[in-house]
Amino acid sequence: MKSEPDVWSIDQQKKVGPKGAPWDGVRNYQAAKNLKNMKKGDLCFFYHSNIGKEIVGIVEVIKEFYLDKTDQSGRFVAVTVKFRNKLLKPVTLEEIKKDKQLSHLALIKQSRLSVMPVDYKSWKIINNMSKV
Protein backbone atom coordinates (compact mmCIF):
# COMPACT_ATOMS: atom_id res chain seq x y z
CA MET A 1 0.00 0.00 0.00
CA LYS A 2 1.52 3.28 -1.11
CA SER A 3 1.14 6.70 0.45
CA GLU A 4 3.01 9.92 0.05
CA PRO A 5 4.57 10.53 3.48
CA ASP A 6 3.63 14.21 3.43
CA VAL A 7 -0.03 13.13 3.00
CA TRP A 8 -0.16 10.03 5.26
CA SER A 9 2.99 8.59 6.80
CA ILE A 10 3.80 5.45 8.74
CA ASP A 11 4.20 7.65 11.84
CA GLN A 12 0.68 9.05 11.38
CA GLN A 13 -0.60 5.50 10.93
CA LYS A 14 1.10 4.50 14.18
CA LYS A 15 -0.39 7.46 16.07
CA VAL A 16 -4.00 6.44 15.32
CA GLY A 17 -3.42 3.32 17.38
CA PRO A 18 -5.28 0.01 17.41
CA LYS A 19 -8.54 1.40 16.01
CA GLY A 20 -6.70 1.92 12.72
CA ALA A 21 -7.54 4.28 9.89
CA PRO A 22 -9.34 3.95 6.57
CA TRP A 23 -7.17 3.40 3.51
CA ASP A 24 -9.27 5.57 1.25
CA GLY A 25 -8.91 7.83 -1.75
CA VAL A 26 -7.97 5.01 -4.14
CA ARG A 27 -9.36 5.88 -7.58
CA ASN A 28 -7.76 3.26 -9.79
CA TYR A 29 -9.97 0.27 -10.63
CA GLN A 30 -7.17 -2.28 -10.41
CA ALA A 31 -6.02 -0.92 -7.03
CA ALA A 32 -9.65 -0.92 -5.84
CA LYS A 33 -9.96 -4.57 -6.92
CA ASN A 34 -6.87 -5.31 -4.82
CA LEU A 35 -8.54 -3.62 -1.83
CA LYS A 36 -11.64 -5.80 -2.36
CA ASN A 37 -9.47 -8.94 -2.27
CA MET A 38 -8.00 -8.08 1.14
CA LYS A 39 -9.15 -10.09 4.13
CA LYS A 40 -9.19 -9.23 7.82
CA GLY A 41 -5.78 -10.17 9.25
CA ASP A 42 -3.89 -9.68 5.97
CA LEU A 43 -0.55 -7.94 6.40
CA CYS A 44 0.51 -5.21 4.00
CA PHE A 45 3.74 -3.37 3.37
CA PHE A 46 3.47 0.39 3.91
CA TYR A 47 5.37 2.15 1.14
CA HIS A 48 6.32 5.82 1.15
CA SER A 49 5.97 6.97 -2.45
CA ASN A 50 7.44 10.02 -4.17
CA ILE A 51 9.41 11.08 -1.08
CA GLY A 52 11.69 8.23 -0.04
CA LYS A 53 10.39 5.52 -2.37
CA GLU A 54 10.80 2.81 0.22
CA ILE A 55 8.89 0.24 2.23
CA VAL A 56 8.91 1.57 5.77
CA GLY A 57 6.51 -0.59 7.74
CA ILE A 58 3.75 -3.15 7.98
CA VAL A 59 0.02 -2.61 8.56
CA GLU A 60 -2.76 -5.11 9.15
CA VAL A 61 -6.22 -5.12 7.59
CA ILE A 62 -8.73 -4.92 10.45
CA LYS A 63 -11.87 -4.19 8.40
CA GLU A 64 -12.56 -5.58 4.94
CA PHE A 65 -13.72 -3.37 2.08
CA TYR A 66 -16.61 -0.93 2.36
CA LEU A 67 -17.73 2.07 0.35
CA ASP A 68 -15.16 4.86 0.44
CA LYS A 69 -16.76 7.85 2.12
CA THR A 70 -14.46 10.20 0.17
CA ASP A 71 -15.87 8.97 -3.17
CA GLN A 72 -19.03 10.81 -4.19
CA SER A 73 -19.63 8.40 -7.11
CA GLY A 74 -20.03 5.37 -4.84
CA ARG A 75 -17.78 3.26 -7.07
CA PHE A 76 -14.66 2.97 -4.93
CA VAL A 77 -13.91 1.20 -1.68
CA ALA A 78 -11.66 1.50 1.36
CA VAL A 79 -10.32 -0.89 3.98
CA THR A 80 -9.28 -0.10 7.54
CA VAL A 81 -5.70 -0.86 8.53
CA LYS A 82 -3.79 -0.63 11.78
CA PHE A 83 -0.08 -0.16 12.39
CA ARG A 84 1.90 -3.33 13.11
CA ASN A 85 5.52 -2.21 12.99
CA LYS A 86 8.18 -0.11 11.35
CA LEU A 87 10.89 -1.93 9.46
CA LEU A 88 14.25 -1.87 11.18
CA LYS A 89 15.74 -0.88 7.83
CA PRO A 90 13.51 0.59 5.11
CA VAL A 91 13.72 -1.28 1.80
CA THR A 92 14.19 1.12 -1.09
CA LEU A 93 12.73 0.81 -4.56
CA GLU A 94 16.29 0.77 -5.87
CA GLU A 95 17.12 -2.27 -3.71
CA ILE A 96 13.96 -4.05 -4.85
CA LYS A 97 14.77 -3.38 -8.51
CA LYS A 98 18.25 -4.87 -8.05
CA ASP A 99 16.88 -8.21 -6.81
CA LYS A 100 16.03 -10.38 -9.85
CA GLN A 101 13.66 -12.49 -7.71
CA LEU A 102 11.45 -9.41 -7.29
CA SER A 103 11.41 -8.27 -10.93
CA HIS A 104 7.83 -9.54 -11.38
CA LEU A 105 6.35 -7.26 -8.70
CA ALA A 106 3.77 -4.67 -9.71
CA LEU A 107 5.86 -2.14 -7.78
CA ILE A 108 8.32 -2.37 -10.67
CA LYS A 109 6.03 -3.25 -13.58
CA GLN A 110 3.14 -0.91 -12.68
CA SER A 111 4.87 1.70 -10.59
CA ARG A 112 1.86 4.05 -10.42
CA LEU A 113 -0.45 1.44 -8.87
CA SER A 114 -1.12 2.40 -5.24
CA VAL A 115 -2.37 -0.95 -3.91
CA MET A 116 -0.85 -4.16 -5.23
CA PRO A 117 -0.47 -7.79 -4.21
CA VAL A 118 2.81 -9.24 -2.99
CA ASP A 119 3.27 -13.00 -3.16
CA TYR A 120 4.52 -14.97 -0.14
CA LYS A 121 8.03 -15.59 -1.52
CA SER A 122 8.52 -11.88 -2.30
CA TRP A 123 7.15 -10.95 1.14
CA LYS A 124 9.80 -13.11 2.77
CA ILE A 125 12.59 -11.73 0.55
CA ILE A 126 11.63 -8.13 1.34
CA ASN A 127 11.33 -8.89 5.06
CA ASN A 128 14.81 -10.39 4.97
CA MET A 129 16.09 -7.30 3.15
CA SER A 130 14.69 -5.18 5.97
CA LYS A 131 16.31 -7.39 8.61
CA VAL A 132 12.96 -7.96 10.32
Residue 3, pLDDT above cutoff 70: yes
CA distances in angstroms from 50 to 18, 67, 70, 92, 114, listed in the order given: 27, 27, 22, 12, 12
Single-letter amino acid, residue 107: L
Kindly state the percentage of the chain with pLDDT values over 70: 99
Q: What is the pLDDT of residue 80?
A: 98
Average pLDDT over residues 2-27: 97
- At 132, the pLDDT band (50, 70, 90 cuts) reads low
CB 11 within 8 A of CB 21: no
Bridging pattern class, strands 2-3 and 43-48: parallel
Q: What is the pLDDT of residues 90-130, one digit of tens each?
A: 999 999 999 999 999 999 999 889 999 999 999 999 999 99
Residue 38, pLDDT above cutoff 90: yes
Average pLDDT over residues 36-56: 97
Residue 131, pLDDT above cutoff 90: no
